[in-house]
């Protein structure tokens, strides 16, 4: 990997991990923390530390596995006993760090569930090097979580990362999948085990996170198209194909993105609820694969 690119990944990783640490501390040392405040503080802190926001801060509570980010008028507050997943993304020049942790607010009833996804991530990282097959990583994640008495979430995966691309072409399954990809030195991947008391699949809820569809690429160099699709043009200029929050679009006059979701120009990422209502825990790190192991950037 080019030394400058490597440095961007490392720097983005330091920003994201520091912001996540601070967000976890903020969530757990106060009562009734507003979710909107927590997300906005985390996103602002990424910029303060010299990064760019790679995606809206996800704050997913209890049976919500991922993709909740508060809307602009959100009144949700963290409650005693909540199991809260905080997922932070930072990038530098498009080189992304994606990292998540779970915190239980003021109680200790779910320590084992939280420990299961944490241990699964640790085991996954320790086996990752050039030549590792992603299905074998999934197998280790699944068995670690099963041995602790829980289920992984089968329909959520980790993913490879590329410049300005959060979910590139390789998935890292959270179970022993029948097919996988062999990792190569220089691959950048996010590994993110989810553990739950529930059945281990998800259903879709409302969407607060979106991204421009990559098929928009063909319109980008067409001036008249950029004009007639000003919302899409503005989104491209600000976020390219990285995810954005509806609440970030306040400044844009035409913020009615639902029509573009209907036409497919914008992709919606709905909130993912565990299908049986089981509480979910998650940990995530971004790593760069090398010959002897991997560098954890976050
Ligand atoms: Mn993440
Ligand atoms: Mn991820």
Residues 153 and 284 both lie in one domain: yes
Residues 174 and 213 both lie in one domain: no
> Residue 218 has what pLDDT?
66
What is the mean predicted confidence (pLDDT) over 281-297? 98
β strands within the chain, DSSP E: 52-61, 64-66, 83-92, 95-104, 151-152, 158-160, 171-172, 188-191, 194-196, 202-212, 244-245, 266-274, 280-282, 285-289, 294-296
Q: What is the mean pLDDT of the chain?
A: 94
* Higher local confidence (pLDDT), 135 or 233: 135
> Residue 232 has what pLDDT?
84
Strands 171-172 and 188-191: unpaired
What is the mean predicted confidence (pLDDT) over 264-281? 97
What is the mean predicted confidence (pLDDT) over 262-270? 93
Residues 187 and 291 both lie in one domain: yes
Residues 211 and 245 both lie in one domain: yes
97 and 13 Cβ atoms separated by less than 8 Å = yes
Residues 166 and 42 both lie in one domain: yes
The rounded Å distance from CA 284 to ligand 1 centre is 6
**Ligand that lies nearest to the alpha carbon of residue 191, given by its number in the listed order:** 2
Judge whether residue 229 has pLDDT over 70. no
Q: Residue 240 is part of which domain span?
A: 206-270
Q: Which residues pair with 211 in a beta bridge?
A: 267
Q: Which of 59-68, 124-133, 193-202, 225-234 is least confident?
A: 225-234
> Over pLDDT 90: what percentage of the chain?
84
Give residue-wise pLDDT tens across range 148-185: 999 999 999 999 999 999 999 999 999 999 999 999 99
Give the model's confidence band at 224: pLDDT under 50 very low, under 70 low, under 90 confident, else very high: low
- Residue 212's CATH number: 1.10.10.10
Q: Which of 60-64, 233-237, 239-243, 275-279 is least confident?
A: 233-237
CB atoms within 10 A of CB 198: 20
The rounded Å distance from CA 166 to ligand 2 centre is 7
Query: Residue 60, SS3?
Result: strand
Q: Which residues contact 138 (CB under 8 A, 6 or more apart)?
A: 172, 173, 174, 175, 176, 177, 180
Residues 25 and 121 both lie in one domain: yes
- Residue 115's CATH number: 3.90.230.10
Judge whether residue 223 has pLDDT over 60. no
Residues 195 and 222 both lie in one domain: no
Number of structural domains found in the chain: 2
Residues 72 and 182 both lie in one domain: yes
What is the mean predicted confidence (pLDDT) over 114-124? 98
Burial-class residue 236 by CB neighbours within 10 Å (0-12, 13-18, 19+).
middle
Residues 193 and 211 both lie in one domain: no
Residues 225 and 150 both lie in one domain: no
Residues 159 and 288 both lie in one domain: yes
**Using the 8-state DSSP alphabet, how is residue 249 labeled?**
G
Residues 116 and 153 both lie in one domain: yes
d(CA 292, CA 75): 48
Give the model's confidence band at 29: pLDDT under 50 very low, under 70 low, under 90 confident, else very high: confident
The rounded Å distance from CA 191 to ligand 2 centre is 7
The rounded Å distance from CA 174 to ligand 1 centre is 14
The catalytic residue positions are 87, 98, 159, 167, 192, 284
């Amino acid at each position: 990997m080019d030394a400058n690119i490597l440095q961007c990944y490392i720097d983005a990783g330091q920003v994201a991990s520091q912001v996540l640490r601070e967000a976890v501390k903020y969530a757990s040392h106060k009562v009734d923390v507003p979710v909107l405040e927590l997300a906005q503080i985390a996103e602002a802190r990424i910029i303060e530390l010299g990064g760019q926001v790679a995606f809206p801060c996800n704050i997913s509570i209890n049976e919500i596995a991922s993709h909740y980010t508060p809307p602009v008028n959100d009144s949700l507050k963290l409650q005693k006993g909540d199991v809260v997943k905080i997922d932070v993304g930072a990038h530098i020049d498009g080189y992304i760090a994606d990292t998540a942790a779970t915190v239980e607010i003021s109680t200790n009833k779910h320590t084992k569930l939280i420990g299961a996804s944490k241990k699964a991530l640790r085991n996954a990282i320790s086996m990752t090097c050039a030549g590792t097959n992603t299905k074998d990583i999934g197998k280790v994640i699944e068995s670690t979580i099963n041995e602790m008495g829980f289920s992984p979430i089968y329909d959520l995966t980790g993913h490879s990362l590329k410049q300005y691309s959060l979910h590139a072409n390789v998935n890292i399954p959270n179970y022993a999948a029948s097919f996988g990809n062999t990792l190569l030195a220089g691959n950048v991947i996010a590994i993110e085990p989810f553990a739950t008391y529930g059945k281990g699949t998800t259903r879709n809820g409302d969407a607060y996170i979106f991204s421009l569809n990559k098929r928009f690429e063909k319109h980008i160099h067409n001036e008249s198209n950029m004009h007639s699709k000003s919302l899409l043009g503005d989104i491209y200029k600000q976020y390219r194909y990285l995810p954005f929050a509806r609440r970030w679009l306040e400044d844009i006059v035409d913020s009615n993105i639902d029509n573009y979701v209907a036409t497919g120009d914008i992709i919606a990422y709905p909130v993912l609820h565990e299908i049986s209502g089981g509480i979910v825990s998650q940990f995530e790190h971004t790593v760069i694969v090398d010959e002897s192991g991997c560098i954890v950037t976050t």
